[in-house]
Structure 1
Amino acid sequence: MERPPRPPPNAREFLGDAKPRYAINGFVGLVFSATGPTAVILAVGQQGGLTQAQLASWVFGVFFLNGSLTVLASWVYRQPLSFFWTIPGTVLVGPALTHLKWPEVVCAFLATGVLILLLGLTGWVKRVMAAIPMPIVMGMVAGVFLSFGLDLVHALARDAVIALPMLAAFLVLACSSVLNRYVPPVLGALIAGVLAVLAVGRFGVLPGQQVLAAPVLQAPQWSWQAILELVVPLTITVLVVQNGQGVAVLRSAGHTAPVNTSTLACGAWSMLSAAVGAAPTCLTGPTNALLVASGERARHYVAGVTCGLLAMIFGLFAPLFTRTMLGMPSSFIAVLGGLAMLRVLQNSFVTAFNGRFSFGALVTFIVTVSDLQLLNIGAAFWGLVAGLAVSWLLERPDFGREEARDVPEAEPAAA
């Protein structure tokens, strides 16, 4: 584990560094995570038939538990280290729930945490990240995320009165470098969508009076099918896609992220989050990009601590938020999740088909989109296997090139 470069700040030092701009950056980071990415959780949960209580427990886990890790890591290392959940891994759960039970998926969450922790303890993380070409990984991610883009288009066609105002607000804010600095486009789309839903009287109040979180402890059910189908793709999305992106974002801002410590923390917190039915923890890229958007590098950690504290508060009120979001029309969640994923989908395509391993990435994408079920194992896993095999046969020189691996960087303005 990397040693912190300096002792953690005391209360007086923290208050001296806590200027308004860093608190605003932390707030914007939380708003990003609480809008589009959370809509992805709700969309996947609805697709898989999860109950309102299970979804609220999932939201509690990814915000309250990961928020506590964000506060601790940012404080100790004096840099913004925002930990939330793997969005690509969350998307993988939707198709899996069509043939796996929820306790079996939770078992895969737990096993993923154990594997990540073991990799962190052995020091093999960098080797694992280097062994799987990023273009092939992003071909899988593009195939998994494609459905969100298609759902966005379908929502525009079938429910324009809700979808069009959301899209218009998103585009107006995304086009203005001044406005989107203070109001993220996804937040603008959320506000426009809420106003549209209220204007047409489409908000349905779901039953339930619970406001504070009551986590649902879920016992895992062992399943070889779930382990084979989900653990490897989930581990790859955490270590290669998400953590790799987070490290790249922080490095571009002048920070040296503690890779080994972050890996160990992701493994331990993934195991903890699995107990309440939450997807594995990761060092997030887009949120960290928002935290370092402005200000002095030495004070960026304040934004991380602020974001973590706000996430913990948000997690405590997970049932209220979940009930409110689920009371919205399905098109509202589809548009919000689709808009949040557009930039990630774009970066996935660019990384997959912009150089090395492009044919293997194409095969990975096609197999993933096909929704192939072979030996009761989902398409994302077979996409990786097929892509690696094709690249090894037809693109073998690409494995020997001494080139820096491509790591997709997030663009917070539209993420």
Structure 2
Amino acid sequence: MKIKFSHISTGFIAVFIGYASAAAIIFQAATSAGASQEQITSWFWALGIGMGVSTISLSWHFKQPIVTAWSTPGAALLVTSLQDVTVGQAVAAFMLCSALITLVGVLGWFDKLLSQIPTAIASAMLAGVLLQFGLGIFTALLDEWLLVVVMLAVYIIAKVHWGHYLIPGILVIAILLSALTGKLDTSMMEFGLSTPTFISPDFQWLTLVSVGIPLFIVTMASQNLPGFAVLKANGYQVNASRIITVTGLTGLILAPLGGFAFNLAALTGAICMSDNADKDPKLRYLAAIAMGVFYLLAGVFAASFVSLFTLVPSAVVMTLAGLALMPTLCRCLMNALVDSTDKEPALMAFLLTASGINLLGIASAFWGLLLGMICYWLQQKSMAVA
């Protein structure tokens, strides 16, 4: 086992993209519950430590790139759900959510569900998710055309020659160009260690039902299901029950400190499963472990780490994510359409997922996967009758 630069750089970029794209939502959610500045910092401390420990332990145990993350759709749900809720009541709801996730893991329901999903459908769903990031490269042109054009040009020209240094190199160039054009914002930078703050849970049945259960449903449907589909689409077979149990227990332990929900990652997980991490799929778990280390650093230096991602324009983050996920998107499209039998169900899953619609508070990835499976099952029945 040898740690490569590609493992470290991929791990950092995955964390960079994850935090830059969703940290603001976490901040809004904590603010909605009336959390103090110390409590908000504790939320990020708990999330960083929880994601770091679980990612490192799971990836090392299974020798596969198993990346955990906070529930971004769950955080978006909390922004509106916690407005009339105290921090203590919110923590109690977090504990219920994690307890339900743990129960699902212990009962082994997820393994049975995943075994029924064809690789083509899983790949199509993931391609639908990643398509938004690919398109984001070009929509970002409207905001920062010079930065995006330079990043895209470097990607196209240097792709063959730079190898694993390509995405890190593009990030460095984007930061330097942002500084030269006066787009590097250092006004929000903070430095210093962060400390956890214990928040005593306040169990109120109304909050448990109205916040805890929806958070559980959104986390399972919009995060865990796509997360495991990403692993399946990339050829990794895992024990879903153990992973679900670990994320649930992590949430139970860290909920009083602000760890509202932990789950399997889809987007950042896909980054660690790409060719940019390692040409050998069997060694990509080292990129996930490197990512876990950066998670830990993000927890220990929570305030400093979060402020780091406010430096560059959002267009840079969007473009970097799209370029980093390009190889994975290509592979998913190929896997989804390679089998003539599953092409139409896979296409249905891809289109609905790519639409980005949100029904009943659940993201399009779940509905795309559901539609693809329905089409697949109906097609299999029709073929059996014929």
TM normalised by structure 1 equals 0.67
> 1:326 Cα shift?
1.5
Listed as ranges, the matches of 1:378-393 within 5 Å are: 378-393=363-378
Task: Report what 1:280 is aligned to.
Answer: 263
> Which segments of 5 or more consecutive residues in structure 2 lack a partner in the other structure?
32-36, 202-206
Listed as ranges, the matches of 1:234-383 within 5 Å are: 234-242=223-231, 244=232, 248=235, 261-271=242-252, 275-277=258-260, 279-281=262-264, 284=269, 286-287=271-272, 293=278, 308-355=292-339, 356-375=341-360, 377-383=362-368
SS of structure 2 residue aligned to 1:22: coil
Tell me the alpha carbon deviations over residues 263-314 of structure 1, each in whole angstroms, 9 at most, x when there is no partner.
432333355566434652459465367899489x9x9998876664454234
Distance 1:308 1:375 in 2: 32
Task: Report what 1:233 is aligned to.
Answer: 222
CA 1:150–1:293 in structure 2 vs 1: closer, same or farther (change >3 Å)? closer
Q: In 1, are the aligned partners of 2:119 and 2:335 still within 8 Å (CA)? A: yes
Task: Report what 1:66 is aligned to.
Answer: 51
Q: Report whether the alignment pairs 1:131 with 2:140.
A: no
Distance 2:29 2:242 in 1: 36
CA 1:94–1:186 in structure 2 vs 1: closer, same or farther (change >3 Å)? farther
Q: In 2, are the aligned partners of 1:273 and 1:280 still within 8 Å (CA)? A: no
Q: In 1, are the aligned partners of 2:219 and 2:263 still within 8 Å (CA)? A: no
> Which segments of 5 or more consecutive residues in structure 1 lack a partner in the other structure?
1-16, 252-256, 401-415
> 1:38 Cα shift?
3.8
1:117 to 95, 99, 102: 102
Task: Report what 1:180 is aligned to.
Answer: 163
Task: Report what 2:185 is aligned to.
Answer: 204
Task: Report what 2:204 is aligned to.
Answer: none
TM normalised by structure 2 equals 0.71
> 1:59 Cα shift?
5.9
Q: Report whether the alignment pairs 1:213 with 2:198.
A: no
CA 1:367–1:286 in structure 2 vs 1: closer, same or farther (change >3 Å)? closer
SS of structure 1 residue aligned to 2:309: helix
Distance 1:377 1:98 in 2: 15
Q: In 1, are the aligned partners of 2:251 and 2:259 still within 8 Å (CA)? A: no
Aligned partner letter, 2:319 = V
CA 1:61–1:384 in structure 2 vs 1: closer, same or farther (change >3 Å)? same
Aligned partner letter, 2:178 = V
Distance 1:368 1:294 in 2: 28
C-alpha RMSD of matched pairs (Å): 4.6
2:132 to 143, 147, 159: 147
Aligned partner letter, 1:191 = V
> 1:198 Cα shift?
0.3
Task: Report what 1:3 is aligned to.
Answer: none
CA 1:345–1:128 in structure 2 vs 1: closer, same or farther (change >3 Å)? same
Distance 1:143 1:107 in 2: 35
SS of structure 1 residue aligned to 2:131: helix
Segment drifting more, 151-160 vs 134-143: 134-143
Aligned partner letter, 1:144 = V
CA 1:50–1:345 in structure 2 vs 1: closer, same or farther (change >3 Å)? farther
> 1:195 Cα shift?
0.7
Tell me the alpha carbon deviations over residues 325-352 of structure 1, each in whole angstroms, 9 at most, x when there is no partner.
2132221122122222323333332333
Q: In 2, are the aligned partners of 1:121 and 1:264 still within 8 Å (CA)? A: yes
Distance 1:234 1:304 in 2: 18
Distance 2:229 2:120 in 1: 11
CA 1:399–1:320 in structure 2 vs 1: closer, same or farther (change >3 Å)? farther
CA 1:167–1:213 in structure 2 vs 1: closer, same or farther (change >3 Å)? farther
- Residue-pair matches, total: 362
> 1:166 Cα shift?
1.9
Aligned partner letter, 2:163 = N
